[in-house]
Amino acid sequence: MDSIVQYLIYSLKEEEIYKNNRIQHKESYILRLITLAYLTDKTLRVSDLLVNKDLGSGPTIQTYITQLVLKQFVIRKVSEEDKRVQFLIPTDNAINLFRELSKVMYDDRVSKETP
C-alpha cells in the first residue's frame, strides 16, 4: 500500500484516539513535547512551554496544561530548590496513550484497512 495512504489511515486513527480521550490538537502537541522530554531523560518546565509563541499566549498555554492535568495526562511537580519552578511529567495515562498510538502505527492491520 502506498505510504501516503498508510499515513492517512494512521492519522485518522490518531485523531480518533485523541478525540476518545478528549484531547484537543494543541493539547496533543504539548503532551507529545512533555512525554518526549520525559522519555529522553530531560526535564520540561512550564516556563519552557511559555516561551514557545507558536503554542499561543502564556495564559492559553497555562489553560492547555491545566486541561491536561485535569484529564490526568500530566502532573505538575514543584521544584524543591525553587518553588516558582514547575516541572511537567506525563502520567501513566499519557504513556499508555502513546503506547496505543504506536501500536496503531506499527500494526500490520493499518496497512490493510481502509478508512
Q: Looking at residue 113, what is its pLDDT?
A: 53
Determine contact, residues 77/83, Cβ cutoff 8 Å: no
CATH number, span 3-108: 1.10.10.10
Q: Cβ neighbours of residue 23 under 8 Å, at least 6 residues apart?
A: 31, 68, 71, 73, 97
pLDDT 10s digit of each residue in the chain, 115 long?
588 988 899 999 999 999 999 999 999 999 999 999 999 999 899 999 999 989 999 999 999 999 999 999 999 999 999 999 999 999 999 999 999 999 988 875 545 555 5
Give the predicted TM-score (pTM) of the model: 0.86
Q: Looking at residue 114, what is its pLDDT?
A: 52
Determine contact, residues 110/5, Cβ cutoff 8 Å: no
Cα separation, 37 vs 43, in Å, equals 6
**Residue 70 phi, psi (nearest 5):** -65, -35
Q: Looking at residue 115, what is its pLDDT?
A: 53
DSSP-derived letter for residue 53 is G
Q: Looking at residue 3, what is its pLDDT?
A: 85
C-alpha cell at 40: 529522553
Domain residue extents for the chain: 3-108
Cα separation, 70 vs 72, in Å, equals 5
Angle, in degrees to the nearest 10, between helices 25-39 and 58-70:
80
Determine contact, residues 17/101, Cβ cutoff 8 Å: yes
